[in-house]
Amino acid sequence: MHIPDGYLSPSTCAVLYAAAAPFWYTALQRVKKSLTTRLVPLLSVMAALSFVIMMFNLPLPGGTTGHAVGVGVSTIILGPWASILAISIALAIQSVFFGDGGVTTLGANCFNMAIVGSLVAYAVYRLAAGRAALTSSRRVVAAALAGYTAINASAFCAAVEFGIQPLFFKDPSGAPLYAPYPLTIAIPAMMIGHLTFAGLAELVLAGGVVAYFQRTNPGLLKLTAPANLEAEPDIAGGESPSMWRTVRPLWIALALLMVLTPLGILAAGTAWGEWSARDFSSLQAREKMAAASQNAAPPVQPPRGLERLSSLWTAPFPQYAPSFMRRPAVGYALSAMFGSGAIILVSLAAGSLAARGKSKN
């Protein structure tokens, strides 16, 4: 799971550093607000602990052993934001000092394991644990599930990162320059290992540690238990009046992505499978389809289902660019902004509906 240098292209690494940066910033702001001067010692020892946890060999069912990242357990005890920071720091020390994971791929590793892992673990734990009591066995199951899902989500992200390498980065002879396997091989290869062994290690660790704390010190589980959230919105990441300030970097990242969207038009041709019914009758489009499908000739007639359904709904911006825009890059950016704006509006509407529902209760 710790991606070494050389598996991902420098541009993928740069994108993942950029994707991780706003999360690191938000996490730091949130944790700083609640910990103030405690930040330095707490994060230091917690990062050290994450490092040591990664070295534990955990006994798995079937007699084998495996390593866990500890993302589930650190999210449950520290909350998602502090967990993002502690695991990122542990990964940085692992990569620079112990050579476990690359330097150029550190952003990718932190994105997959610390960020995606912590956020998925938090969401799954909160959803599965619900309002169960701190010592309820439901929390043990929820923790185990959170650890298992989180590590598999991280593995999936890594698999996608590996799988897209041969699509974009090849030498003139067509040999992949970085991770060589396409998505069809990378995803099953990564997921089989994680759905079984690595996932089990995380499951055993998260469930086991929560069960242990239930017996010895249930207070440590309070931070991510909902009843406690209103009193302590800090590390756990509850809503606070200055939320806008702390999530601002995420909005900035979104804006950057929207501005960078025109880069998509630099990619040649149409994405595989995104053909229209008309493409089946155009000679040029047919050649492209065949080239993209390992020289398998497309059917002479457009599939009947596609033909029938294509008349049902016409996108407001067909081909992502309004017809009145002459320059495709500007049209593409406008379409991206429109699309993102629409998504944000729908999310806001859903959020306000949910809030209204909650206040009625």
Q: Between residues 36 and 314, which has the closer beta carbon with respect to another protein?
A: 36
The verdict on 174 binding another protein (CB under 8 A) reads yes
What b/e readout covers 269-298, taking b as 16+ CB neighbours within 10 angstroms? Answer: eeeeeebebebbeeeebbebbeebeeeeeb
Angle, alpha carbons 102-105-106 (nearest 5°)? 80
The verdict on 302 binding another protein (CB under 8 A) reads no
Closest separation in Å from C-beta 23 to another protein: 15
The verdict on 303 binding another protein (CB under 8 A) reads no
- Looking at residues 194 to 253 of the shown chain, list those that interact with another protein (rule: CB under 8 A): 204-205, 207-209, 211-213, 216-217, 220
The verdict on 150 binding another protein (CB under 8 A) reads no
Binding piece for another protein, criterion CB under 8 A, among 60-68, 118-126, 229-237, 250-258: 60-68
The verdict on 306 binding another protein (CB under 8 A) reads no
Q: Between residues 168 and 310, which has the closer beta carbon with respect to another protein?
A: 168
Closest separation in Å from C-beta 166 to another protein: 8
Closest separation in Å from C-beta 76 to another protein: 11
59, β-bridge pairs: 65
The verdict on 296 binding another protein (CB under 8 A) reads no
- Looking at residues 90 to 119 of the shown chain, list those that interact with another protein (rule: CB under 8 A): 90, 92-93, 95-99, 102-104
The verdict on 258 binding another protein (CB under 8 A) reads no
Residue at token pair 């992200």: 157
The verdict on 345 binding another protein (CB under 8 A) reads no
Q: Specify the DSSP class assigned to residue 176.
A: B
Residue 293 phi, psi (nearest 5)? -115, 40
Q: Which residues contact 122 (CB under 8 A, 6 or more apart)?
A: 75, 79, 80, 83, 146, 224, 237
Q: Between residues 189 and 257, which has the closer beta carbon with respect to another protein?
A: 189
The verdict on 59 binding another protein (CB under 8 A) reads yes
* CB contact at 8 A, 349 and 340: no
